[in-house]
Amino acid sequence: MMRRAALLEQANGLLRHYPVVALLGARQVGKTTLSLQIARERPSLYLDLESDHDRARLTDAETYLSRQSDRLVILDEVQREPRLFPLLRSLVDRRRQTGEAGGQFLLLGSAAPELVHGISESLAGRLATLELPPFQPDEVGGPLATVEQLWLRGGFPNSFLAADDAVSFHWRGQFVSTFLERDLPSLGLRLPAETLRRFWTMLAHGQGAVWNGSRLAAGLGLSVPTLRRHLDLLTGCFLVRQLAPHQSNLGKRMVKAPKVYVRDSGLLHRLANIVDVHTLLGHPLCGPSWEGFAIESLINRCGDGWRSSFYRSHAGAELDLLMFKYGRRVGVEFKRMDAPALTPSMRIALRDLRLDELVVVHAGRDTFPMAPGIRAVPLTRLDADLT
């Protein structure tokens, strides 16, 4: 798939310039598969830190890893062994002193650096990160029915490629349970699994809503700071996205809390007990689900350099997504329909936010102009540079 091929090339490029590269993403998203493709191109050693056998090889980690200086060492699920990070720094610095260049360690992790104790501090200046998302619409290609299947099942390979919707639905249920009951404790986080499941489900039913910690905390019987830590945890494990509000000098009172999305639409539908497309299309979550699906596609497609936010004032003016890059300012609205119509709020957003362009992303097939500076583009044909 094209995106995987591009990420493979990007990872190889980073390994030529950084001594340590971290390939990050949610569990079961395909990091190991991609790393083994990288390994085919050079002498490599793969160690799975969930394996007792491989962890035993690192009992005397310094001696063992020092002997691998001629190989790329791949450490899978590296967040399970934070004790290794200071050692990796020492080995990298030792290698630098001898004048050796190139990649030495490829770390695979299912938690962001801020959740893994010691990684950012130990490897500062030595580490490059690359995120691997689930499958996206531009990867799967094919007819609209294929993209609809991706929307329903989500982009985790085992879910999207399952034999049928029922098998996919069951797989996602197992994923949720395993994450709550096994993966969280492996990060050293002792949270009641059922409480976090209820919280995650509440987020799913409020897909795309502005964060209201007080309301959610009251429903769960928890404090707002505790609930905020839970939210940051799900965000750091690549399962939830917090879309920050745009802060401007327009002289208007602006919303200051983030909008919250379950990142993978398949997990969203599993948490909301939506089994098939027929149920999805008649569900109150249909519109918010499609919006979150499209936002993930656009943010992942645009890549580094773009800053993303949303715009909403207390007076009711709003824009689903606002993206900045090198002075370019693009607004995006999401409409799950074949032929979206121009609205007064689109003209207001174009004028008030001084947008270079406003793109209306829709579920149909055609690209067409709607007004000067405003065009409609199908989700399946979005341009990577928004031009």
- Model pLDDT for residues 19-31, shown as the tens digit of each residue: 999 999 999 999 9
Task: With respect to residue 198, please indicate whether it lies within any of the assigned structural domains.
Answer: yes
Based on the fold, state whether residues 200 and 332 are members of the same structural domain.
yes
Based on the fold, state whether residues 199 and 322 are members of the same structural domain.
yes
Task: Band the pLDDT of 326: cuts 50, 70, 90.
Answer: confident
Mean pLDDT of 146-171: 96
Q: Could you tell me the residue range of the domain that residue 287 belongs to?
A: 137-381
Based on the fold, state whether residues 201 and 333 are members of the same structural domain.
yes
Task: With respect to residue 386, please indicate whether it lies within any of the assigned structural domains.
Answer: no
Task: With respect to residue 60, please indicate whether it lies within any of the assigned structural domains.
Answer: yes
Q: What residue spans of 18-143 are helical by DSSP H?
A: 31-39, 52-56, 61-66, 84-97, 119-122, 137-140
Mean pLDDT of 133-144: 83
Based on the fold, state whether residues 17 and 45 are members of the same structural domain.
yes
Q: Tell me what pLDDT residue 100 has.
A: 64
Based on the fold, state whether residues 278 and 339 are members of the same structural domain.
yes
The label of the residue with tokens 């709020």 reads: 345
More confident position, 188 or 234: 234
Q: Tell me what pLDDT residue 99 has.
A: 65
More confident position, 188 or 2: 188
18: nearest Cα among 117, 108, 106, 119 = 106
Give the end of a domain, one of 107, 131, 155.
131
Mean pLDDT of 66-89: 90
Give the end of a domain, one of 83, 109, 131.
131
Based on the fold, state whether residues 338 and 255 are members of the same structural domain.
yes
Tokens of 269: 């539908």
Based on the fold, state whether residues 329 and 227 are members of the same structural domain.
yes
Q: Do the beta carbons of residue 227 and residue 220 sit within 8 Å?
A: yes
Task: With respect to residue 353, please indicate whether it lies within any of the assigned structural domains.
Answer: yes
Helix (H, G, I), strand (E, B) or coil at 331: strand
Distance CA 158, CA 170 (A): 11
Is the pLDDT reported for residue 101 higher than 80? no
Based on the fold, state whether residues 115 and 149 are members of the same structural domain.
no
Distance CA 205, CA 191 (A): 21
Q: Specify the number of domains making up the chain.
A: 2
Distance CA 27, CA 109 (A): 8
Is the pLDDT reported for residue 5 higher than 70? yes
Task: With respect to residue 316, please indicate whether it lies within any of the assigned structural domains.
Answer: yes
Task: With respect to residue 186, please indicate whether it lies within any of the assigned structural domains.
Answer: yes
Task: Band the pLDDT of 37: cuts 50, 70, 90.
Answer: very high
Q: Return left, alpha or beta for 102; rule: phi > 0 is left, psi -120 to 50 is alpha, else beta.
A: left
Task: Band the pLDDT of 188: cuts 50, 70, 90.
Answer: low
Task: With respect to residue 355, please indicate whether it lies within any of the assigned structural domains.
Answer: yes
Mean pLDDT of 70-86: 91
More confident position, 381 or 167: 167
Based on the fold, state whether residues 164 and 295 are members of the same structural domain.
yes
Q: How far from 15 is each of 11, 33, 62, 116, CA to CA, in Å?
A: 6, 17, 21, 21
Based on the fold, state whether residues 290 and 308 are members of the same structural domain.
yes
Tokens of 387: 């031009």
Give the end of a domain, one of 131, 153, 175.
131
Q: Tell me what pLDDT residue 321 has.
A: 94
**Summary mean pLDDT of the chain:** 89
Q: Return the CATH number at 27.
A: 3.40.50.300
Q: Do the beta carbons of residue 92 and residue 104 sit within 8 Å?
A: yes
Task: Band the pLDDT of 383: cuts 50, 70, 90.
Answer: low
Based on the fold, state whether residues 60 and 174 are members of the same structural domain.
no
Based on the fold, state whether residues 280 and 336 are members of the same structural domain.
yes
Is the pLDDT reported for residue 90 higher than 70? yes
Q: Tell me what pLDDT residue 1 has.
A: 52
Task: With respect to residue 387, please indicate whether it lies within any of the assigned structural domains.
Answer: no
Is the pLDDT reported for residue 345 higher than 90? no
Q: Tell me what pLDDT residue 191 has.
A: 75
Q: How many CB atoms lie within 10 A of CB 135?
A: 23
Q: Tell me what pLDDT residue 260 has.
A: 98
List the beta bridge partners of residue 324: 307, 329
